Amino acid sequence: MAEQLIVFCSNYRRELESLKLAEKYDGIEVIYLPSRCGMPPIEWAKLQENLPDLSSYKNLHVVSCGGITGLSEKECINDYCYSHDFKQCYHLIINPDLAECYIKKGFYLVTPGWLASWRNILTGWGFEQDTSAQFFRDTARAILLLDTGVDPSAEANLAEFARYVERPYESVKVGLDYLMLLLNNTVLKSRVENMQSIKRVELVDRQKEFADFNMALDLLSTLTSVRQEEPVIQNIKDMFAMLFAPSEVVYRSALEKSIAGTQDINTDDSFTLEIHGSSGLLGCLDIIGVDQPRYLDQYKKLSDKIVSICGLAIENARHYQAIKDLSDTDGLTGIANRRKLEKHLAHEWNRMRRENKPLTLMMCDIDYFKRYNDLYGHQAGDDCLKKVSSALSGYCRRSGDLIARYGGEEFTLVLPGADREGAKILAEQIRQGIEALELKNEGAPVSDYVTLSIGVSCMVPTAEDAVENLIATADKALYTAKEAGRNCVVII
């Protein structure tokens, strides 16, 4: 007889079937209800019409967005029915902090199950194609698939949906680890509450097991909010040190393990724990010399239940870093954008002021670029911007140097430590180097090839001055270069 009945949205059928809960836990049964995307909370009486005879189960878990209304006081008091409410359905497979970070970047988040029935969902919302396109144009800059890896048609469904609503799209692998952690928590907590008749000697060990598990859950909840990989790994080591009190915890990355060829540990008081993510093996933890070896098997079982979230935390940190890199990068050229430039320039200004060294800023503008676009087309214009930015990147050779896209066809180079004479020589080399690329620009009066006008400003920062003056001076120099006929360098 099944002990616990779990009710899930049908959009997650593939994910739940992939996890094979019935094989992992005895007494678990899962049933599915039709998707209720965008609909109000389900009535308890209406829910019961779709359920089997509940007298056969100790617990009922309803996992949903929006929850249940009309639930009688008796069910709540007796802890018979548990309503697990999530603000959004994707919070089942991804940390809410990470989801919020994606949303702030302008993504509309979708899951494979949602995409499988997106046409029916939009119809249920009362949307036609024109209203759908308008809605998503107003609410998101792009569609992001949180790919759990269980639906081979998810990518095709994503492309079809994105075309329908006229939005660009991306996908990110999230796997099933986060969902498995939530389900582990649901099942195990219910079983703790149902344990009433275990022998005392067994109960001591069980209580320790579940106390360790609850402690692990508390530690894991903070672990997934850390956004840098090194602190995440240190927190993982600290967590296992707190749980098992070993003499040492050693982390080896997958690359270190592969290069060193080190062996895993399996002794009476030590063991090795592999940490996997959606991309494969991430690393290993060597738990060496636990304080109470008699609990080693119990420690291993607990580790098996929580290790997946460790992999999830490491991958979360990598996702955060990828998002941060994305926010500092120009989407077309792949170099730094204006946001990154402003942060970097302020940092180098303060550093050069402390070291009493010069800071050079170059502003480079592609001459007659509008004519280039008009003559060759915008696709060719994009290719031109990529080639020019790539060439300019070759002149940023030292630590602290930065090439950034300032806007349109304008680029900037930040060169800390470069003095006025050196900056003038380098700017002329850059001007000649871009023309030597021989990118045809037959519509330009100054040359048959793409050329640059370059304005250069060089200052030794002081406490009385401001970085804005450096920018304004470089901008003025660029304007003077354009007035002088373009394809030239002016330094102020």
Q: What is the pLDDT of residues 230-252, one digit of tens each?
A: 888 898 898 888 888 999 999 99
- Count of C-beta atoms within a 10 Å radius of residue 173: 14
Task: Name residues of the chain where pLDDT drops below 70.
Answer: 1-2, 36-42, 64-87, 191-226, 257-262, 323-326
Tell me the per-residue pLDDT of 100-151, one tens digit each, with 9 for 90 and over: 889 999 999 999 999 999 998 898 888 999 999 999 999 999 999 999 999 9
Please choose, from the candidates 218, 190, 157, the residue with its C-alpha nearest in 3D space to the C-alpha of residue 78.
190
Per-residue confidence (pLDDT) for residue 77, from 0 to 100 = 32
What is the Cα–Cα distance from 371 to 153, expressed in whole angstroms? 44
Tell me the per-residue pLDDT of 72-111, one tens digit each, with 9 for 90 and over: 544 433 344 555 555 677 888 888 888 888 999 999 999 9
What is the Cα–Cα distance from 105 to 79, expressed in whole angstroms? 40
Structural domains of the chain in order of their starting residue, each with its CATH number: 1-87 (3.40.50), 94-175 (no CATH), 338-491 (3.30.70.270)
- As a whole number of Å, the end-to-end CA separation of the chain is 85
Q: Which amino acid is at 282?
A: L
Query: Strand pairing of 4-9 and 28-33?
Result: parallel
Query: Strand pairing of 280-288 and 359-366?
Result: unpaired
* Tokens describing residue 379: 């696709």
Give the torsion sign (CA, 176, 62, 89, 190): negative
Tell me the per-residue pLDDT of 267-291, one tens digit each, with 9 for 90 and over: 999 999 999 988 789 999 999 999 8
Is residue 456 within 8 A of residue 362, CB to CB? The reply is yes
Per-residue confidence (pLDDT) for residue 78, from 0 to 100 = 36
Per-residue confidence (pLDDT) for residue 79, from 0 to 100 = 43
Q: Which amino acid is at 476?
A: K
What is the Cα–Cα distance from 114 to 119, expressed in whole angstroms? 10
Give the torsion sign (CA, 309, 310, 312, 313): positive
Using CB atoms within 10 Å of the CB of residue 237, give its burial: 0 to 12 exposed, 13 to 18 middle, 19+ buried.
middle
Per-residue confidence (pLDDT) for residue 435, from 0 to 100 = 96
Angle of the 296-327 helix axis to the 200-223 helix axis, nearest 10: 10
What is the Cα–Cα distance from 47 to 52, expressed in whole angstroms? 10
Residue whose tokens read 């540990």: 265
Using CB atoms within 10 Å of the CB of residue 354, give its burial: 0 to 12 exposed, 13 to 18 middle, 19+ buried.
exposed
Helix (H, G, I), strand (E, B) or coil at 174: coil
* Tokens describing residue 152: 């081979």
* Tokens describing residue 259: 């290069």
Please choose, from the candidates 100, 104, 68, the residue with its C-alpha nearest in 3D space to the C-alpha of residue 84.
68
Instruction: Give the mean pLDDT of the chain.
Output: 84
